[in-house]
Structure 1
């Protein structure tokens, strides 16, 4: 996405009508290079009009109430289940991942996210009483209200083109918001299918809109009159988005990727851990923010672990995701492939061993890169510092638990991590010391599929959370509503100050907070008459 420097007064320079009309994006099958469809980019004026329509439609959607919105999500869930295979095949055609991964990591995740919203939305949105123990305020009855922001802007990526925008959209819709979604320009077809399903389920067309376009379209959304933004993308772009949002105090959620570490302790089950590493590094061709991008292995099982990973990697079948025999599909495009390739070559030049893979597979198609295992890497190499986002498993040795934690935390990222050990208590103790939004013990990546679990990171991995109750909290404004039980009584803290009132208040504080029963009793006597004292 193109965004200007923070000093710019506008997100993008004004374009002529001719330039706007000429802007197009293409959906391309990354396995074959086939152009699936071309789209004209939504212009700045079209973005503004869509947001205005969303704002006009949102109050009626909110007024439907939680039960009717939940019923709509239930219908969406039913429709998605019926069309699961068609949706998965579309995801594979446009994003490249194996069909079975599209089912598991996209369709299943969204079906379960719908289940979570259906089961929890009504209780979540119900007024929440606020009990309190302040004796001075005992005539007060308060509660927390959760109200929709209004119009939520969602800018989503290409790597999980269905599950990421759908999970965020369902949470926004069920809490009463309207949504304007700008998908990645590489996966527009999947986003349009999401819109088709939601509208067929009963979501009004102006309550959920998809704006297809390039970076300028995304920038126009950020600069529009939305009430909150959910952005998933790179750290560099996310930082610029945050600066622009800060200028008008636009609330944001940022999911900006990761460099997730995997710690294999000396007592780990090597057979299981090596399988977890291979899947965690190569699922979706390594193009996941939760991918295993750094693998640290204790020196005692280091050689055995590497041998197991190499053996299992050699058995992986790389090919078109629509082929049922394929384990690993293509990368999304040439630019992403070059990043992975450059990281491997930098590591090789600095002394790392490339044990399997490390090259393109042009015979399969334009964007295929062999699953790669790299041993003896160090933190001086780009492959251990920068997000690779490709099918590469770099492995480094460590001597002690303390060193493993130091290495794991030696990163600007803090999205997720994993610890592998036969000792659950030891694994959980180390997990608490890792700076990350999620840490799994004896598994990796799959926490994204737990709808109740929050997803998000720390440090440069972003701000805020999606998924679960915390994800729902991101979609609402909090309002405290308070009513007085004795509306006809003047309050003791109102005007009518004076020396006697000061002494009474000192006594009242002693009554509530002094140490010892005697001191509190004396305070009670000093505060006598405070309620009946005349007020202005």
Structure 2
């Protein structure tokens, strides 16, 4: 049975005002006349035309950014956070506008666009409230108590190159840029061309809220044209995207010893334990697997169900999957939207077709839905997937999940960890304490209990990132801001030097220092 559809309200709904497009296009760092037209994934029709950035434009953007960054870094943190404190209210007031843009440039359902809105509003507010505390000078313990005074200082890196992906363009652009800028940096930002409108929109908004124009600049263009100058001029590189792309960036910056953070791919497991609540888990799996049509680096692509619950859980999950509503409307009716690129549709189709040809069983879905839109693919569940199939180990990045049966915890932990990736995982049970013990054995940067991904990701006070080939570094938490800084230690010595005073010889001084170690330990000074 094909997934039901929600009818769209008409062609006019899938257009953006030309005045809005013109205003946003003016923020592209471009000095040429070349343009690119962005299609709508919902319809395949043109959505907007924006200028293209050339290699020379990137160089000029860096020159402007370095001048702007010096003035920006000289401001107190209390001044640098002001535009971002204003941002959350402005986002709420203009919520419908940005939700429309996100949907139209990505093709995702509105309920999934809403997650991006919430992420930018809450994450930027988190850092605006905490930046002063995170960045303030800190006293550290010196070698000689009372004689050595040590201070830890945080300086901005300078100009950060930030490359954000097409699948969550608003969230994975603005939410990383906010802490970088609050830390005193300028940012040259390359969003994916297909989904640059949401980044241009929030830049336009922040400039209106008081952010100096050249502190955040957006470049739009072919990575083959502007990628090298973007990376080669950066003082720090932040990248979210494929593992292949992350490795290429690491190789590029290595000769200059420039630091970087990379959030990369995932092949994320979901473990359904024998005591899991069938209804809650099945409904949670819909969101865990099919948010943004599975185009989410932390979504679930492998599901392991305990043999004692398999025959009750899987039929209920199939019932929900087959009843999911697909649609292109700019409202909250559709449960799943479109894929964003033709290449994603091709990859999903190739993975499913190959798996079926080699013996996999389609439990639900399994085909494209051009009747809904040119890039739609049904939410799909497969059984009998084995290690010879690309679907088993390679990231599909679409609405496709392989279901497996397992017998015990040791088995399922081994299978969950049997991947080159380690980004996210999910465990479902009525016993959270047991789940935490199991979670600690899973090689993933985040593990969610009775949730697919949001519990960990939206906990902005804790770090988020990947193990193994899923990335380097973390976003969120203290590290999400401090990674954009250089740490400096300033130590001053008082009263006496770190050498024998007066006529005391080194042998006697060595005895005094050795005795001092024991004394400091006994007094718990050290």
TM-score by length of 1: 0.88
**CA deviation string 1:391-445 (max 9, x = no partner):** 1121011111001000110000000101111111110000000011101111112
Q: Which residue is equivalent to 1:295?
A: 303
Q: Which residue is equivalent to 2:466?
A: 457
Query: What is the CA-CA distance between 1:514 and the residue it aligns to?
Result: 8.6
8 Å contact kept, 1:27–1:188? no
**3-state DSSP of counterpart to 1:81:** helix
Alignment of 1:151-162 (within 5 A): 151-162=159-170
**Residues 309 and 180 of structure 1, relative CA distance in 2, 3 Å threshold:** same
The whole-number CA distance in structure 2 between the counterparts of 1:510 and 1:360 is: 77
The whole-number CA distance in structure 2 between the counterparts of 1:497 and 1:183 is: 66
**CA deviation string 1:214-267 (max 9, x = no partner):** 212551344332110101111111111101111111111101121111011111
Confirm or deny that 1:57 pairs with 2:72. Answer: no
Q: Which residue is equivalent to 1:269?
A: 277
8 Å contact kept, 2:58–2:230? no
8 Å contact kept, 1:148–1:475? yes
**CA deviation string 1:158-207 (max 9, x = no partner):** 10010111111100111111111100011111111121011111111110
The whole-number CA distance in structure 2 between the counterparts of 1:514 and 1:161 is: 57
Q: Which residue is equivalent to 1:88?
A: 99
Confirm or deny that 1:336 pairs with 2:344. Answer: yes
**Residues 124 and 217 of structure 1, relative CA distance in 2, 3 Å threshold:** farther
Query: What is the CA-CA distance between 1:118 and the residue it aligns to?
Result: 1.9
1:176 to 181, 184, 187: 184
The whole-number CA distance in structure 2 between the counterparts of 1:58 and 1:350 is: 56
Query: What is the CA-CA distance between 1:490 and the residue it aligns to?
Result: 4.3
**Residues 481 and 74 of structure 1, relative CA distance in 2, 3 Å threshold:** same
The whole-number CA distance in structure 1 between the counterparts of 2:65 and 2:500 is: 45
**Residues 515 and 88 of structure 1, relative CA distance in 2, 3 Å threshold:** closer
Query: What is the CA-CA distance between 1:22 and the residue it aligns to?
Result: 9.0
**Residues 515 and 468 of structure 1, relative CA distance in 2, 3 Å threshold:** closer
Moved more, 393-402 or 377-386: 377-386
Q: Which residue is equivalent to 2:86?
A: 75
The whole-number CA distance in structure 2 between the counterparts of 1:453 and 1:138 is: 34
The whole-number CA distance in structure 1 between the counterparts of 2:278 and 2:175 is: 34
Q: Which residue is equivalent to 1:364?
A: 372
> For the aligned residues, what is the CA RMSD?
2.1
8 Å contact kept, 1:378–1:396? no
**Residues 356 and 493 of structure 1, relative CA distance in 2, 3 Å threshold:** farther
Query: What is the CA-CA distance between 1:271 and the residue it aligns to?
Result: 1.3
2:254 to 228, 246, 252: 246
Larger Rg: 1
2:517 to 512, 517, 520: 512
Confirm or deny that 1:197 pairs with 2:205. Answer: yes
1:44 to 55, 63, 75: 55
Confirm or deny that 1:492 pairs with 2:502. Answer: no
Structure 2 unaligned runs (5+)? 1-30
Query: What is the CA-CA distance between 1:507 and the residue it aligns to?
Result: 4.3
Structure 1 unaligned runs (5+)? 1-19, 521-536
Query: What is the CA-CA distance between 1:378 and the residue it aligns to?
Result: 2.6
1:106 to 116, 124, 131: 116
**3-state DSSP of counterpart to 2:193:** coil
Question: How many residue pairs get matched?
Answer: 492
Query: What is the CA-CA distance between 1:36 and the residue it aligns to?
Result: 1.2
The whole-number CA distance in structure 2 between the counterparts of 1:147 and 1:289 is: 31
**3-state DSSP of counterpart to 1:206:** helix
Query: What is the CA-CA distance between 1:100 and the residue it aligns to?
Result: 2.4
The whole-number CA distance in structure 2 between the counterparts of 1:389 and 1:51 is: 33
8 Å contact kept, 2:41–2:341? yes
Q: Which residue is equivalent to 1:11?
A: none
The whole-number CA distance in structure 2 between the counterparts of 1:271 and 1:218 is: 49
2:125 to 92, 111, 115: 115
The whole-number CA distance in structure 2 between the counterparts of 1:493 and 1:201 is: 59
The whole-number CA distance in structure 2 between the counterparts of 1:38 and 1:444 is: 37
Query: What is the CA-CA distance between 1:513 and the residue it aligns to?
Result: 3.4
Confirm or deny that 1:229 pairs with 2:205. Answer: no
The whole-number CA distance in structure 1 between the counterparts of 2:39 and 2:458 is: 27
TM-score by length of 2: 0.89
**CA deviation string 1:127-152 (max 9, x = no partner):** 111024x44x6411111111111111
The structure showing larger relative contact order (alpha-carbon pairs under 8 Å, at least 6 residues apart) is: 2
8 Å contact kept, 1:155–1:231? yes
Q: Give structure 1 regions of 4+ aligned residues with deviation exceeding 4 angstroms.
A: 20-24, 514-517
**3-state DSSP of counterpart to 1:378:** coil
Q: Which residue is equivalent to 1:130?
A: 140
**3-state DSSP of counterpart to 1:144:** strand
Query: What is the CA-CA distance between 1:94 and the residue it aligns to?
Result: 0.5
1:474 to 483, 500, 503: 483
Query: What is the CA-CA distance between 1:376 and the residue it aligns to?
Result: 2.6
The whole-number CA distance in structure 1 between the counterparts of 2:179 and 2:120 is: 11
8 Å contact kept, 1:438–1:457? yes
**3-state DSSP of counterpart to 2:327:** coil
8 Å contact kept, 1:26–1:185? no
8 Å contact kept, 1:309–1:373? no
